[in-house]
Amino acid sequence: MGNRSWPAALSGAVIGAVAARAAYSAFRRRPPVGEEKTWTRTNHRGESVTLLEGPAYVAATGAAAALTPGLPWRLRAAAVLAGVGSGVLGGYDDIYGATATKGFKGHLAALARREVTSGSVKIVGIGAAGLAAAALAGSARRDSGSAGARAADVLIDGALIAGGANLANLFDLRPGRAIKVGLLAGAPLLAASLSGSRPAAAGLAAVPLGAAVALLPEDLAERAMLGDAGANSMGALLGLAASVRLSRRARLGLLGVVAGLTAASEKVSFTKVIAGNPVLNRIDMIGRRPAQR
């Protein structure tokens, strides 16, 4: 029997891409919540852009996860829960979020003071969605082992899904950056799934990548941006894909990287770090308009 991973990956990528373009066009005509101005923001150039790319990404990946052939129902449900759940919570923060409290640390500090911010609602909600998705996906894992090992896997994978959602959002500060980071992170997962003949893992990894590629031109042209909705959804889905494909040791290592970068973001500016590194800056500028002087 041939490698069934390729058809699964191709189906996931194509369905994700087609659904993303269709959803974006539909939402530009009629936003899912409120009016078009509800989703309009000012970017780093002082120009108006729409956040409707985010809801389009969420809707597209949710549809693709439900329709892509070859996914076990538990994994399909986990993908919908992680991607749509994180995206809806991110969209809530996009619309109702205040800028007075910023950063992961700031929202947790506010929560410790019994101040409920939109960001703290998102953090708690995405954490819960991540754990639930991890439990669903982990139940399909063949090498899950003892009850203790399964519980540890759920905690690791839930943290990876939620951490991925938060980290992806930290890169959505310049056109195309979050999507490029997502593609660079997701491509090795997809390649590993294809080479290992893992059709479910390949289809799962291809869904967020296909939708991201389809929306990248809008992002690079500075007509739209992912916002919290799209970035949270993309990060959560990539975290789920990693939890399905990688070994426990690899997942722990990746979780350490995610936690380290999240902690670093509280102290340093990713934008300044990228601008100061010739290689990272060149990648960051691919397809973009020249930087302002």
Would you give per-residue pLDDT tens digits along the chain (293 residues)? 457 899 999 999 999 999 999 999 999 999 999 899 999 999 888 899 999 999 999 999 999 999 999 899 999 999 999 999 999 999 999 998 765 556 566 556 666 666 667 777 888 899 999 999 999 998 655 555 677 788 899 999 999 999 999 999 999 999 999 999 999 999 999 999 998 778 999 999 999 999 999 999 999 999 999 999 999 999 999 999 999 999 999 999 999 999 999 999 989 999 999 999 999 999 999 999 886 65
Enumerate the β-bridge partners of residue 41. Answer: 49
Q: Which two tokens stand for residue 249?
A: 């040791």
Q: Is 40 helix (H, G, I), strand (E, B) or coil?
A: strand
Cβ-proximal residues to 268 (8 Å cutoff; 6+ apart), any chain: none
Question: What is the pTM (predicted TM-score) of this model?
Answer: 0.92
CA angle 14–16–22, rounded 5-degree value: 100
Nearest-10 Cα torsion for 37, 43, 45, 46: 40
For the chain, the distance separating the N- and C-terminal CA atoms, rounded to the nearest angstrom, is: 57
Query: How far is residue 124's CA from residue 87's CA, in Å, rounded to a whole number?
Result: 14
